[in-house]
Amino acid sequence: MEIGKVFVMGSGTMGCGIAQVCAQSGISVVMNDISQEMLDKAVKTISWSASKFIEKGKVKDDLGTVMGRIQVSTDLDGAADADLVIEAVFEKIGVKHEALKKLDPIVGEKTIVATNTSAITITEVASVMSRPENFVGLHFFNPVPMMQAVEVIRGVATSDEAFQYGAEFVRFIGKEPIMVNRDIAGFILNRINICANVEAMRLVEQGVASPEDIDKGMRLAFGRKMGPFETGDLVWIEVSLMAYTNIYEEDKDPRFYPPSIMRQKVLAGHLGRKTGKGWYEYNEDGSRK
Ligand SMILES: NC(=O)c1ccc[n+]([C@@H]2O[C@H](COP(=O)([O-])OP(=O)(O)OC[C@H]3O[C@@H](n4cnc5c(N)ncnc54)[C@H](O)[C@@H]3O)[C@@H](O)[C@H]2O)c1
C-alpha cells in the first residue's frame, strides 16, 4: 500500500488537522483550497499546533521537517500523482459534487478518494465519480490531531481494497480505524451521540432539567469531558442542526428530528460560543458568564 502523497481538498478546521497529522507521520501533503487566505491561515495554525506536539515529545521530527512536507495550492494539479485524496470542503452536497467533478479527470486510476463528510452518505458523495469503487469515507473527529478514532465507511460501490486501504492509512497516521460496514447517514458514533443529544434537548424543552444539570450529570456520571450543551455551543448549533436534518431526511427516523428548541436557537442567531450566546451566555474572551 502506497501512502507517499496525500492531497487534501479544503483547508478549514478539518482539512488543516488532517494535513497536520499526515505531515507529522512523514507523508508529503498538498493542501488545497479555493481561498488563498484560508491556506495562509491553515499553515499558521498547523505550525503552531505541530510545535506543541514537538515540544511535548509526541512528534520526533523538528518543525522545519514537518512543515517542509506541506505544500499549498489553489489548483488541483497536485492531485494527479497523489496516492490518496481527502475531500474536506463545506458540508453541502452541491459544493462537494462541484469540487469532485473537477477532481475526477485529474486523479490516477489507482488513487483512492475519500470524503470526510459528517452526515451525507458516502454513496451520494461518490455518485459523481467515474470510479466509485475507489471511493471511501474517512470520518475524522475534531480536533483531528487529538482525536484517535476515525470511522472508515464503505459506500455501496466501495471495493474491498479501498475499504482496507482506508483502515491501513488510519493506522499509518497513528489513529484507530472504526470500520463501518454499511453506508448509513451519520455512520456509527454520531448516530449514537445525536440520539442522546436530541433526548437531552427534549428534556430541557419539557422543563425536566436545565442544560447546566444535564451537562454536569453527563460529565460526572459518564466521564465525558463536556456535556451535550457545552459541546453544542462549541461546534455551532447551526452546524449540528444541518447534520441532524441530513440524517433525519435520509430515512425520516424521528429519533434524529431536531427539536424545536434547537431550531429556534438558530432562528434567533444564538449559535454558540462564537456569537456570545447559545445554550449558555459568553463574555467576549469566550469564557462563560
Ligand atoms: N468541523 C467539525 O467538527 C467536523 C467534524 C467531522 C467532519 N467534518 C466535515 O468535514 C468537512 C469540512 O468541515 P470543516 O469544519 O473543516 O469546514 P470549514 O468551513 O472549516 O472549511 C471548509 C473549507 O473548504 C474550502 N472549500 C470550499 N469549496 C472548496 C473547493 N471547491 N475546493 C477546495 N476547497 C474548498 C473553504 O474555503 C474552507 O476553507 C465537512 O464535510 C464537515 O461535515 C467536520
Kindly state if the Cβ of 50 falls inside 6 Å of ligand 1: no
Kindly state if the Cβ of 38 falls inside 6 Å of ligand 1: yes
Encode pLDDT of 151-183 as tens digits.
999 999 999 999 999 999 999 999 999 999 999
Residue 123 lies in a domain: yes
Q: Which residue in the list 11, 32, 134, 139 is annotated as catalytic?
A: 139
Q: At what angle do helices 237-251 and 228-235 cross, to 10 degrees?
A: 100
pLDDT at 112 over 80: yes
Residue 11 lies in a domain: yes
* Same structural domain, 89 and 202: no
**Probe residue for ligand 1, chosen from 7, 14, 240 as the CB with the greatest number of ligand atoms within 8 Å:** 14
* Same structural domain, 49 and 173: yes
pLDDT at 146 over 80: yes
pLDDT for the residue 289: 92
* Same structural domain, 69 and 170: yes
* Same structural domain, 20 and 144: yes
* Same structural domain, 160 and 201: no
Average pLDDT (245-254) is: 91
Opening angle at CA 174, ends 173 and 179, nearest 5: 90
CA 11 to the chain's CA centroid: 12
* Same structural domain, 109 and 210: no
Of 162, 180, 198, the last residue of a domain is 180
Mean of pLDDT over the chain: 96
Strands of the 149-153 sheet, one edge to the other: 70-73, 28-32, 5-9, 84-87, 112-115, 135-140, 149-153, 176-180
Encode pLDDT of 198-249 as tens digits.
999 999 999 999 999 999 999 999 999 999 999 999 989 998 999 899 899 9
* Same structural domain, 37 and 166: yes
pLDDT at 1 over 80: no
Interatomic CA distance for residues 186 and 113, integer angstroms: 19
Residue 287 lies in a domain: no
Q: What is the radius of gyration, based on Cα positions, of the chain?
A: 19
Number of domains in the chain: 2
Pairing of the two strands 112-115 and 135-140:
parallel
Is it true that the peptide bond before 132 is cis, omega within 30 degrees of 0?
no
Ligand 1 atom closest to the CA of 35, numbered from 1 = 37
pLDDT higher at 246 or 144: 144
Of 180, 208, 224, the last residue of a domain is 180
Give residue 199's domain range.
Answer: 189-275
Kindly state if the Cβ of 30 falls inside 6 Å of ligand 1: no
Nearest one of 218, 233, 244, 240 to 279, comparing CA atoms: 233
pLDDT at 119 over 90: no
End-to-end CA distance of the chain: 51
Kindly state if the Cβ of 185 falls inside 6 Å of ligand 1: no
Q: What is the pTM of this model?
A: 0.93
